[in-house]
Protein backbone atom coordinates (compact mmCIF):
# COMPACT_ATOMS: atom_id res chain seq x y z
CA UNK A 1 0.00 0.00 0.00
CA UNK A 2 1.40 3.40 -1.00
CA UNK A 3 2.14 5.46 2.10
CA UNK A 4 -0.57 8.10 2.67
CA UNK A 5 0.48 11.67 3.17
CA UNK A 6 -0.38 11.78 6.88
CA UNK A 7 1.18 8.34 7.56
CA UNK A 8 -1.56 7.12 9.89
CA UNK A 9 -1.30 3.69 8.30
CA UNK A 10 0.23 1.77 11.24
CA UNK A 11 -2.32 3.15 13.71
CA UNK A 12 -5.31 2.36 11.53
CA UNK A 13 -3.92 -1.02 10.45
CA UNK A 14 -3.53 -2.07 14.07
CA UNK A 15 -7.04 -0.85 14.89
CA UNK A 16 -8.53 -2.71 11.92
CA UNK A 17 -6.67 -5.92 12.70
CA UNK A 18 -7.65 -5.90 16.39
CA UNK A 19 -11.27 -5.05 15.61
CA UNK A 20 -11.58 -7.97 13.19
CA UNK A 21 -9.96 -10.40 15.61
CA UNK A 22 -12.11 -9.32 18.56
CA UNK A 23 -15.45 -8.32 17.06
CA UNK A 24 -15.73 -10.27 13.81
CA UNK A 25 -13.79 -13.55 13.92
CA UNK A 26 -15.73 -15.06 16.86
CA UNK A 27 -19.09 -14.46 15.14
CA UNK A 28 -18.44 -14.66 11.42
CA UNK A 29 -19.47 -18.29 10.91
CA UNK A 30 -22.81 -17.55 12.55
CA UNK A 31 -23.30 -14.55 10.26
CA UNK A 32 -22.48 -16.70 7.25
CA UNK A 33 -25.18 -19.14 8.35
CA UNK A 34 -27.67 -16.32 8.97
CA UNK A 35 -27.01 -14.70 5.59
CA UNK A 36 -26.42 -11.25 7.03
CA UNK A 37 -24.47 -9.32 9.63
CA UNK A 38 -26.17 -7.58 12.56
CA UNK A 39 -26.78 -3.85 12.64
CA UNK A 40 -24.76 -3.70 15.82
CA UNK A 41 -21.61 -4.53 13.83
CA UNK A 42 -21.97 -1.34 11.79
CA UNK A 43 -22.34 0.68 14.97
CA UNK A 44 -19.23 -1.00 16.39
CA UNK A 45 -17.33 -0.18 13.20
CA UNK A 46 -18.46 3.43 13.58
CA UNK A 47 -17.41 3.60 17.21
CA UNK A 48 -13.97 2.28 16.24
CA UNK A 49 -13.61 5.07 13.66
CA UNK A 50 -13.54 2.67 10.71
CA UNK A 51 -16.48 3.94 8.65
CA UNK A 52 -15.46 7.54 8.04
CA UNK A 53 -11.72 7.10 7.68
CA UNK A 54 -11.23 9.65 4.88
CA UNK A 55 -14.32 11.72 5.65
CA UNK A 56 -13.70 15.29 6.88
CA UNK A 57 -13.78 15.60 10.66
CA UNK A 58 -16.61 18.13 10.41
CA UNK A 59 -18.80 15.35 8.99
CA UNK A 60 -17.88 12.78 11.61
CA UNK A 61 -14.81 11.30 9.94
CA UNK A 62 -11.10 11.06 10.67
CA UNK A 63 -9.83 13.14 7.75
CA UNK A 64 -7.21 10.51 6.87
CA UNK A 65 -5.96 9.47 3.45
CA UNK A 66 -8.34 7.51 1.20
CA UNK A 67 -5.73 4.77 0.82
CA UNK A 68 -6.38 3.68 4.40
CA UNK A 69 -9.92 2.72 3.37
CA UNK A 70 -8.34 0.44 0.76
CA UNK A 71 -6.08 -0.94 3.49
CA UNK A 72 -9.16 -1.74 5.59
CA UNK A 73 -10.71 -3.61 2.66
CA UNK A 74 -7.50 -5.50 2.14
CA UNK A 75 -7.23 -6.56 5.80
CA UNK A 76 -10.88 -7.63 6.01
CA UNK A 77 -10.35 -9.81 2.95
CA UNK A 78 -7.01 -11.15 4.19
CA UNK A 79 -8.71 -12.49 7.30
CA UNK A 80 -11.26 -14.31 5.15
CA UNK A 81 -14.31 -12.10 5.63
CA UNK A 82 -15.22 -11.59 1.98
CA UNK A 83 -18.88 -10.78 2.63
CA UNK A 84 -17.97 -8.08 5.13
CA UNK A 85 -15.40 -6.68 2.71
CA UNK A 86 -18.00 -6.25 -0.04
CA UNK A 87 -20.54 -4.71 2.35
CA UNK A 88 -17.90 -2.34 3.72
CA UNK A 89 -16.76 -1.43 0.20
CA UNK A 90 -20.30 -0.39 -0.75
CA UNK A 91 -20.93 1.63 2.41
CA UNK A 92 -17.59 3.31 3.12
CA UNK A 93 -15.78 3.27 -0.22
CA UNK A 94 -18.62 3.93 -2.65
CA UNK A 95 -21.80 5.45 -1.17
CA UNK A 96 -20.04 7.83 1.23
CA UNK A 97 -17.69 9.22 -1.47
CA UNK A 98 -20.65 9.73 -3.83
CA UNK A 99 -22.31 11.89 -1.19
CA UNK A 100 -19.11 13.71 -0.34
CA UNK A 101 -18.20 14.47 -3.96
CA UNK A 102 -21.62 15.11 -5.49
CA UNK A 103 -24.00 15.94 -2.63
CA UNK A 104 -25.12 19.36 -1.50
CA UNK A 105 -24.03 20.61 1.94
CA UNK A 106 -27.49 19.74 3.28
CA UNK A 107 -27.34 16.20 1.85
CA UNK A 108 -23.88 15.63 3.26
CA UNK A 109 -24.85 16.92 6.70
CA UNK A 110 -28.01 14.83 6.77
CA UNK A 111 -26.48 11.50 5.82
CA UNK A 112 -22.70 11.35 6.26
CA UNK A 113 -22.34 11.74 10.05
CA UNK A 114 -24.92 8.97 10.56
CA UNK A 115 -23.11 6.76 8.04
CA UNK A 116 -19.77 7.40 9.78
CA UNK A 117 -21.29 6.35 13.12
CA UNK A 118 -22.90 3.24 11.65
CA UNK A 119 -26.42 4.38 12.53
CA UNK A 120 -27.25 4.60 8.82
CA UNK A 121 -26.26 1.83 6.40
CA UNK A 122 -25.77 2.67 2.73
CA UNK A 123 -26.31 0.84 -0.56
CA UNK A 124 -26.21 1.72 -4.25
CA UNK A 125 -28.73 0.37 -6.74
CA UNK A 126 -27.73 0.17 -10.39
CA UNK A 127 -28.36 -3.39 -11.61
CA UNK A 128 -31.80 -4.50 -12.79
CA UNK A 129 -33.22 -7.88 -13.85
CA UNK A 130 -32.81 -6.91 -17.51
CA UNK A 131 -29.95 -4.41 -17.23
CA UNK A 132 -26.69 -5.45 -15.61
CA UNK A 133 -23.56 -3.87 -17.03
CA UNK A 134 -25.68 -2.11 -19.68
CA UNK A 135 -26.87 0.75 -17.48
CA UNK A 136 -28.34 2.64 -20.42
CA UNK A 137 -30.97 -0.14 -20.73
CA UNK A 138 -32.37 0.37 -17.23
CA UNK A 139 -36.15 0.46 -16.82
CA UNK A 140 -36.46 2.23 -13.45
CA UNK A 141 -38.04 5.63 -14.05
CA UNK A 142 -38.14 8.88 -12.12
CA UNK A 143 -40.65 11.45 -13.33
CA UNK A 144 -41.16 14.97 -12.07
CA UNK A 145 -44.11 15.86 -9.86
CA UNK A 146 -45.27 19.17 -8.40
CA UNK A 147 -43.30 18.53 -5.20
CA UNK A 148 -40.34 16.52 -6.50
CA UNK A 149 -40.11 13.09 -8.13
CA UNK A 150 -42.01 9.84 -8.52
CA UNK A 151 -39.87 6.68 -8.63
CA UNK A 152 -41.04 3.38 -10.14
CA UNK A 153 -39.10 0.21 -10.92
CA UNK A 154 -36.88 -2.39 -9.31
CA UNK A 155 -33.23 -3.21 -8.73
CA UNK A 156 -31.49 -6.57 -8.32
CA UNK A 157 -28.38 -7.94 -6.56
CA UNK A 158 -28.10 -4.96 -4.20
CA UNK A 159 -25.40 -5.45 -1.56
CA UNK A 160 -26.58 -4.22 1.88
CA UNK A 161 -30.07 -4.10 0.40
CA UNK A 162 -31.79 -5.83 3.31
CA UNK A 163 -30.39 -3.51 5.98
CA UNK A 164 -29.90 -0.28 4.04
CA UNK A 165 -31.40 2.94 5.38
CA UNK A 166 -30.19 4.96 2.39
CA UNK A 167 -29.96 3.76 -1.20
CA UNK A 168 -28.47 5.71 -4.09
CA UNK A 169 -30.79 4.72 -6.94
CA UNK A 170 -30.01 5.13 -10.64
CA UNK A 171 -33.10 5.93 -12.66
CA UNK A 172 -34.04 7.18 -16.10
CA UNK A 173 -35.38 10.74 -16.00
CA UNK A 174 -35.31 11.15 -19.79
CA UNK A 175 -35.87 7.78 -21.51
CA UNK A 176 -35.18 9.29 -24.93
CA UNK A 177 -31.68 10.49 -24.00
CA UNK A 178 -29.94 7.15 -23.50
CA UNK A 179 -27.07 7.35 -21.02
CA UNK A 180 -27.58 11.12 -20.79
CA UNK A 181 -31.04 10.55 -19.37
CA UNK A 182 -29.86 8.84 -16.16
CA UNK A 183 -30.08 10.57 -12.77
CA UNK A 184 -29.17 9.58 -9.21
CA UNK A 185 -31.52 9.78 -6.22
CA UNK A 186 -31.07 9.46 -2.46
CA UNK A 187 -33.82 7.12 -1.34
CA UNK A 188 -34.75 6.95 2.34
CA UNK A 189 -35.92 3.35 2.80
CA UNK A 190 -38.58 4.35 5.34
CA UNK A 191 -40.60 6.06 2.60
CA UNK A 192 -43.92 4.62 1.44
CA UNK A 193 -43.53 2.78 -1.85
CA UNK A 194 -40.18 1.22 -0.97
CA UNK A 195 -40.02 -2.54 -0.37
CA UNK A 196 -37.52 -5.39 -0.41
CA UNK A 197 -37.76 -8.92 -1.72
CA UNK A 198 -36.55 -12.03 0.08
CA UNK A 199 -32.77 -12.19 0.65
CA UNK A 200 -30.98 -13.59 -2.40
CA UNK A 201 -29.12 -16.82 -1.67
CA UNK A 202 -25.63 -16.86 -3.17
CA UNK A 203 -22.87 -19.44 -3.53
CA UNK A 204 -20.42 -17.24 -1.61
CA UNK A 205 -20.14 -14.11 0.51
CA UNK A 206 -23.12 -15.33 2.52
CA UNK A 207 -22.70 -12.81 5.34
CA UNK A 208 -23.17 -9.97 2.86
CA UNK A 209 -26.93 -9.53 2.49
CA UNK A 210 -28.09 -9.13 -1.10
CA UNK A 211 -31.59 -8.00 -2.04
CA UNK A 212 -34.02 -7.09 -4.76
CA UNK A 213 -35.52 -3.63 -4.19
CA UNK A 214 -38.86 -2.32 -5.42
CA UNK A 215 -40.09 1.26 -5.94
CA UNK A 216 -43.83 1.58 -6.40
CA UNK A 217 -45.13 5.13 -6.81
CA UNK A 218 -42.42 6.22 -4.36
CA UNK A 219 -42.57 9.98 -3.87
CA UNK A 220 -39.29 11.82 -3.38
CA UNK A 221 -38.73 15.47 -2.48
CA UNK A 222 -36.78 17.67 -4.89
CA UNK A 223 -33.75 17.54 -2.60
CA UNK A 224 -33.50 13.75 -3.07
CA UNK A 225 -31.85 14.35 -6.46
CA UNK A 226 -28.11 13.74 -6.13
CA UNK A 227 -26.20 16.15 -8.34
CA UNK A 228 -27.77 17.36 -11.56
CA UNK A 229 -30.60 15.70 -13.46
CA UNK A 230 -29.29 13.78 -16.47
CA UNK A 231 -25.72 13.68 -15.18
CA UNK A 232 -26.01 10.33 -13.41
CA UNK A 233 -24.02 8.33 -15.94
CA UNK A 234 -21.19 10.87 -15.82
CA UNK A 235 -21.16 10.62 -12.01
CA UNK A 236 -21.00 6.83 -12.23
CA UNK A 237 -18.01 7.03 -14.56
CA UNK A 238 -16.38 9.59 -12.23
CA UNK A 239 -16.71 7.35 -9.18
CA UNK A 240 -16.03 3.94 -10.78
CA UNK A 241 -12.22 4.16 -10.42
CA UNK A 242 -12.51 4.22 -6.64
CA UNK A 243 -15.06 1.41 -6.64
CA UNK A 244 -12.72 -0.74 -8.73
CA UNK A 245 -9.78 0.14 -6.50
CA UNK A 246 -11.84 -1.29 -3.66
CA UNK A 247 -12.44 -4.52 -5.57
CA UNK A 248 -8.71 -4.75 -6.29
CA UNK A 249 -7.87 -4.20 -2.61
CA UNK A 250 -10.23 -7.04 -1.72
CA UNK A 251 -8.52 -9.26 -4.30
CA UNK A 252 -5.05 -8.53 -2.94
CA UNK A 253 -6.07 -9.17 0.64
CA UNK A 254 -7.84 -12.41 -0.24
CA UNK A 255 -4.88 -13.70 -2.22
CA UNK A 256 -2.50 -12.91 0.64
CA UNK A 257 -4.83 -14.62 3.11
CA UNK A 258 -5.25 -17.71 0.94
CA UNK A 259 -1.51 -17.97 0.38
CA UNK A 260 -0.84 -17.79 4.14
CA UNK A 261 -3.36 -20.57 4.81
CA UNK A 262 -1.81 -22.71 2.09
CA UNK A 263 1.75 -22.23 3.31
CA UNK A 264 0.71 -23.38 6.78
CA UNK A 265 -1.08 -26.40 5.36
CA UNK A 266 1.67 -27.65 3.05
CA UNK A 267 4.25 -27.34 5.82
CA UNK A 268 2.19 -29.54 8.15
CA UNK A 269 0.47 -31.96 5.77
CA UNK A 270 2.48 -35.05 4.85
CA UNK A 271 2.17 -37.36 1.87
CA UNK A 272 4.43 -40.23 0.83
CA UNK A 273 6.57 -39.70 3.88
CA UNK A 274 7.34 -36.02 3.51
CA UNK A 275 5.71 -32.59 3.82
CA UNK A 276 3.54 -31.59 0.87
CA UNK A 277 5.59 -28.39 0.71
CA UNK A 278 8.66 -30.38 -0.32
CA UNK A 279 7.17 -31.51 -3.63
CA UNK A 280 8.33 -29.54 -6.64
CA UNK A 281 4.76 -29.02 -7.90
CA UNK A 282 3.79 -27.42 -4.60
CA UNK A 283 6.85 -25.20 -4.53
CA UNK A 284 6.45 -24.06 -8.13
CA UNK A 285 2.70 -23.43 -7.70
CA UNK A 286 3.21 -21.24 -4.64
CA UNK A 287 6.13 -19.43 -6.25
CA UNK A 288 3.83 -18.51 -9.14
CA UNK A 289 1.12 -17.34 -6.73
CA UNK A 290 3.60 -15.14 -4.86
CA UNK A 291 4.89 -13.66 -8.11
CA UNK A 292 1.40 -12.87 -9.37
CA UNK A 293 0.40 -11.18 -6.11
CA UNK A 294 3.52 -8.99 -6.14
CA UNK A 295 2.98 -8.01 -9.78
CA UNK A 296 -0.68 -7.19 -9.05
CA UNK A 297 0.27 -5.13 -6.02
CA UNK A 298 2.73 -3.07 -8.06
CA UNK A 299 -0.01 -1.99 -10.48
CA UNK A 300 -2.47 -1.46 -7.63
CA UNK A 301 -0.08 0.92 -5.87
CA UNK A 302 0.52 2.75 -9.13
CA UNK A 303 -3.25 3.25 -9.45
CA UNK A 304 -3.52 4.42 -5.82
CA UNK A 305 -0.87 7.04 -6.51
CA UNK A 306 -2.68 8.12 -9.70
CA UNK A 307 -6.03 8.34 -7.91
CA UNK A 308 -4.54 10.50 -5.18
CA UNK A 309 -3.31 12.91 -7.87
CA UNK A 310 -6.64 12.84 -9.73
CA UNK A 311 -5.01 11.09 -12.70
CA UNK A 312 -6.54 7.59 -12.59
CA UNK A 313 -8.81 7.10 -15.58
CA UNK A 314 -11.42 4.55 -16.57
CA UNK A 315 -8.97 2.44 -18.54
CA UNK A 316 -6.59 2.22 -15.57
CA UNK A 317 -9.51 1.10 -13.41
CA UNK A 318 -10.67 -1.47 -15.97
CA UNK A 319 -7.20 -2.99 -16.30
CA UNK A 320 -6.81 -3.14 -12.52
CA UNK A 321 -10.23 -4.67 -11.92
CA UNK A 322 -9.91 -7.20 -14.76
CA UNK A 323 -6.45 -8.40 -13.84
CA UNK A 324 -6.76 -8.58 -10.07
CA UNK A 325 -10.23 -10.14 -9.92
CA UNK A 326 -9.29 -12.80 -12.45
CA UNK A 327 -5.96 -13.30 -10.68
CA UNK A 328 -7.80 -13.76 -7.39
CA UNK A 329 -9.90 -16.60 -8.80
CA UNK A 330 -6.91 -18.21 -10.50
CA UNK A 331 -4.48 -18.09 -7.59
CA UNK A 332 -6.98 -19.16 -4.94
CA UNK A 333 -8.02 -22.07 -7.15
CA UNK A 334 -4.35 -23.09 -7.30
CA UNK A 335 -4.09 -22.81 -3.52
CA UNK A 336 -7.21 -24.89 -2.94
CA UNK A 337 -5.85 -27.62 -5.21
CA UNK A 338 -2.92 -28.11 -2.85
CA UNK A 339 -5.35 -28.96 -0.03
CA UNK A 340 -6.68 -31.91 -1.99
CA UNK A 341 -10.10 -33.11 -0.86
CA UNK A 342 -9.87 -31.08 2.35
CA UNK A 343 -10.04 -27.90 0.26
CA UNK A 344 -13.55 -28.86 -0.82
CA UNK A 345 -14.83 -28.98 2.75
CA UNK A 346 -16.18 -26.11 4.80
CA UNK A 347 -13.96 -27.25 7.66
CA UNK A 348 -11.02 -25.56 5.95
CA UNK A 349 -11.28 -21.76 5.42
CA UNK A 350 -9.67 -22.00 1.98
CA UNK A 351 -13.08 -23.13 0.67
CA UNK A 352 -14.66 -19.81 1.71
CA UNK A 353 -11.84 -17.87 0.05
CA UNK A 354 -12.58 -19.84 -3.12
CA UNK A 355 -16.34 -19.26 -3.09
CA UNK A 356 -16.10 -15.61 -2.07
CA UNK A 357 -13.71 -14.87 -4.93
CA UNK A 358 -16.02 -15.77 -7.79
CA UNK A 359 -18.28 -12.72 -7.62
CA UNK A 360 -15.31 -10.37 -7.91
CA UNK A 361 -15.25 -10.91 -11.69
CA UNK A 362 -18.95 -10.04 -11.90
CA UNK A 363 -19.82 -6.99 -9.80
CA UNK A 364 -18.44 -3.49 -10.46
CA UNK A 365 -18.43 -4.46 -14.14
CA UNK A 366 -17.87 -7.97 -15.50
CA UNK A 367 -14.52 -9.03 -16.89
CA UNK A 368 -16.03 -8.88 -20.38
CA UNK A 369 -17.08 -5.27 -19.87
CA UNK A 370 -13.60 -4.45 -18.55
CA UNK A 371 -12.09 -5.87 -21.74
CA UNK A 372 -14.45 -3.77 -23.83
CA UNK A 373 -13.50 -0.60 -21.90
CA UNK A 374 -9.82 -1.35 -22.48
CA UNK A 375 -10.41 -2.15 -26.16
CA UNK A 376 -12.25 1.15 -26.68
CA UNK A 377 -9.21 3.02 -25.38
CA UNK A 378 -7.22 1.29 -28.14
CA UNK A 379 -9.63 1.01 -31.06
CA UNK A 380 -12.65 3.15 -30.24
CA UNK A 381 -16.22 1.90 -29.91
CA UNK A 382 -17.16 -0.99 -32.19
CA UNK A 383 -20.41 -1.11 -34.17
CA UNK A 384 -21.40 -4.24 -32.22
CA UNK A 385 -21.07 -2.40 -28.90
Residues with a known catalytic role:
243
Tell me the three-class secondary structure of the chain, residue by residue. Answer: CCCCCCCCHHHHHHHHHHHHHHHHCCCHHHHHHHCCCCHHHHHHHHHCCCCCCCCCHHHCCCCCCCHHHHHHHHHHHHCCCHHHHHHHHHHHHHHHHHHHHHCCHHHHHHHHHHHHHCCCCEEEECCECCECCCHHHCCCEEEECCCEEEEEEEEEEEECCCCCCEEEEEEECCHHHHHHHEEEEEEECCCCCEEECCCCCCCCCCCCCEEEEEEEEEEEEHHHEECCCCCHHHHHHHHHHHHHHHHHHHHHHHHHHHHHHHHHHHHHCEECCEEHHHCHHHHHHHHHHHHHHHHHHHHHHHHHHHHHCCCCCHHHHHHHHHHHHHHHHHHHHHHHHCCHHHHHCCCCCHHHHHHHHHHHHCCCCCHHHHHHHHHHHHHCCCCCC
Amino acid sequence: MSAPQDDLTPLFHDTIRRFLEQEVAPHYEAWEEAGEMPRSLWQQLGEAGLLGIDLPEALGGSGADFAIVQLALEEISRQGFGGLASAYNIHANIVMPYLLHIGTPAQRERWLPAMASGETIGAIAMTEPGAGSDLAAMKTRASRTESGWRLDGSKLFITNGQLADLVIVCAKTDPSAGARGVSLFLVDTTLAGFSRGQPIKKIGQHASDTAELFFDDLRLPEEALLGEAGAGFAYLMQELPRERLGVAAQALGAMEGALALTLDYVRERRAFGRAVGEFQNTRFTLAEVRAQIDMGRAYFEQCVAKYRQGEMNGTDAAILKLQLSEMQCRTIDACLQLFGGYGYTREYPISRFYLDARVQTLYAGTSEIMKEVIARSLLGKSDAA
